[in-house]
Amino acid sequence: MDAVIKKLMPKSEYLDKPETNRPSQAEVEAAVLTLLRWTGDNPDREGLRDTPKRVAKAFREMFNGYDMCPAEELGRTFEEVAGYDDLVLIKDIQFHSHCEHHMVPIIGKAHVGYLPDGKVVGLSKIARVVDIFAHRLQTQEAMTAQIAGVIQEVLNPRGVAVMIEAEHMCMAMRGIRKQGSTTLTSTFTGAFKDSPEEQVRFVTMVRNGASS
Ligand SMILES: Nc1nc2c(ncn2[C@@H]2O[C@H](COP(=O)(O)OP(=O)(O)OP(=O)(O)O)[C@@H](O)[C@H]2O)c(=O)[nH]1
Mind listing the pLDDT tens digit for each residue in 123-143? 999 999 999 999 999 999 999
Question: How many whole angstroms separate alpha carbon 135 and alpha carbon 8?
Answer: 22
| 137 CB near ligand 1 (under 6 Å) | no
Q: Indicate the top mutation candidate among 170, 183, 184 to test ligand 1's pocket, ranked by most ligand atoms within 8 A of CB.
A: 170
| Interface predicted TM-score of the whole assembly (ipTM), two decimals | 0.90
Helix ranges (H only) for the chain are: 2-8, 25-39, 46-49, 51-62, 70-73, 123-134, 140-155, 169-172, 190-194, 196-208
Q: What distance separates the 2 farthest-apart alpha carbons in the chain?
A: 64
| All domains in the chain, ordered by first residue | 25-62 (no CATH), 78-208 (3.30.1130.10)
Q: List the catalytic residues.
A: 99-102, 140, 168, 170
Q: Is 8 a residue whose pLDDT tops 60? A: no
96 is in an annotated binding site: no
Residue minimizing CA distance to atom 32 of ligand 1: 139
pTM value? Answer: 0.90
3-state secondary structure of 109: strand
| 140 CB near ligand 1 (under 6 Å) | yes
Output the CA 109–ligand 1 centroid distance in Å: 20
